[in-house]
Amino acid sequence: MRYRVLGGTGIEVSVHCLGAMMFGAVGNPDHDACARIVQAALDQGINFVDTADMYSAGESEEIVGKALRGRRDEVVLATKVHFPMGEGPNRGGNSRRWIVREVEESLRRLDTDWIDLYQVHRPDHTTDVEETLSALTDLVHQGKIRAFGCSTFPAEDVVEAYHVADRRGLMRFRTEQPPYSLLARGVEASVLPVCQRLGMGVLTWGPLASGFLTGRYRKGRPVDLASGRAALTPARFDPTLPVNAAKLDIVERLVEVADDLGCTLPQLAVAFAAAHPAVTSVILGPRTEDQLNGLLKGASLTLDDETLDRLDVIVPPGTDVYRPDGAWRPPVLTDPARRRRPLADRSAA
């Protein structure tokens, strides 16, 4: 297993990070089986585990906490905060009120005294970023977290947070966690270069493009929209939709590249994400131990320039074949009032 330093923190993390999104009711409800996945990952050299409070409504954190008993010191443990945890106001977002409350819940569920990397799961434009950074800085000073980062932030929000921290004498985001895969290369245009310039570590999620790069979904094969990942978001897998048909066409070309290399499509996908110079670690989110082992069989795979050139022809750099983050969109796109002048102003013009 290879290791890289995480965003100037001095913390060394494995190039592959075990993601725990599929632990619990949403993916694998068998706690013992999930614990075996964690143990297998550690035994194969992974020392980086990433989860979030909202994964299976806290169940994922509980599973990870139990699985790490006796091995906590071996692991760089990351979790996240932002999405609502329960009904009612003030139970989500990036406010100081919520962060200082929810970190205690994560510590309890994870059965640990500290979190190595605490990440803000999405932007919150109702909260001043200074408020968020101030709360996180205090948590570092209190010893509850070691460092903090952001996840799926646009480049402009990353830059704003950096300058606010600099002006106010606050600690800054040390990492960003964007979606990145052979089918979602949009972050190459600005997010990844910005992180490089600011000295931030990058943990990428979704290297298998929500399952499209597992080899399970192929052109001409029927798709069961009532089971697995497809049951959660059928529109993302319906082959009759143009965006999914485009994915399937590309998958066929990527399979040819993998076959020429003598590797599997998932191994090619993971190696691609790890090849970018901005990327510190690639998050793998297996649901079973077999899936983990299959991915790690290609852990040493290195893509040469000729192969990367072939991939650039299939999916041009900086291109998103589909919008990879279905869980969040900027308010400027979802709220019509933010992009329309008042009617009186329009009439006067």
Angstrom distances, CA of residue 186 to CA of 13, 101, 116, 327? 25, 34, 28, 17
SS3 of residue 3 by DSSP? strand
The per-residue pLDDT for range 77-135, each reduced to its tens digit, is 999 999 999 999 999 999 999 999 999 999 999 999 999 999 999 999 999 999 999 99
Is 55 an annotated catalytic residue?
Answer: yes
Angstrom distances, CA of residue 302 to CA of 12, 136, 266? 20, 37, 14
Q: Residue 196 is encoded by which pair of tokens?
A: 């490089």
pLDDT over 90 for what percent of the chain? Answer: 82
Q: Do residues 285 and 21 lie in contact, with contact meaning Cβ atoms separated by under 8 Å?
A: yes
Q: Which residues pair with 292 in a beta bridge?
A: none
State residue 238's pLDDT score: 86
Q: What is the largest CA-CA distance in the chain?
A: 70
Rounded to the nearest 5°, which phi and psi values hold at 288? -135, 165
SS3 of residue 272 by DSSP? helix
Total tally of structural domains belonging to the chain: 1
In a domain, 105, yes or no: yes
In a domain, 347, yes or no: no
State residue 346's pLDDT score: 67
In a domain, 276, yes or no: yes
In a domain, 166, yes or no: yes
Helix axes 31-43, 59-67, angle to 10 degrees: 50
In a domain, 232, yes or no: yes
Q: What does the pLDDT profile of the chain (349 residues) look like in tens digits?
A: 899 999 999 999 999 999 999 999 999 999 999 999 999 999 999 999 999 999 999 999 999 999 999 999 999 999 999 999 999 999 999 999 999 999 999 999 999 999 999 999 999 999 999 999 999 999 999 999 999 999 999 999 999 999 999 999 999 999 999 999 999 999 999 999 999 999 999 999 999 998 999 988 888 888 877 766 666 677 888 888 999 999 999 999 999 999 999 999 999 999 999 999 999 999 999 999 999 999 998 888 999 999 999 999 999 999 999 989 765 677 888 888 888 888 777 666 5
In a domain, 348, yes or no: no
d(CA 315, CA 59): 37
Angstrom distances, CA of residue 15 to CA of 69, 77, 121, 237, 286? 23, 14, 21, 29, 16
In sequence order, the 6+-apart residues with CB closer than 8 A to the CB of 261 are: 268, 301, 303, 307
d(CA 91, CA 256): 47
Q: Do residues 184 and 320 lie in contact, with contact meaning Cβ atoms separated by under 8 Å?
A: yes
Domain containing 179 equals 3-341
Q: What is the CATH number of the domain that holds 158?
A: 3.20.20.100
Active-site position among 3, 55, 118, 322? 55
The per-residue pLDDT for range 113-122, each reduced to its tens digit, is 999 999 999 9
Strands (E), 164-286: 175-177, 201-204, 281-284
The residue among 75, 70, 74, 58 whose CA lies nearest residue 21 is 58
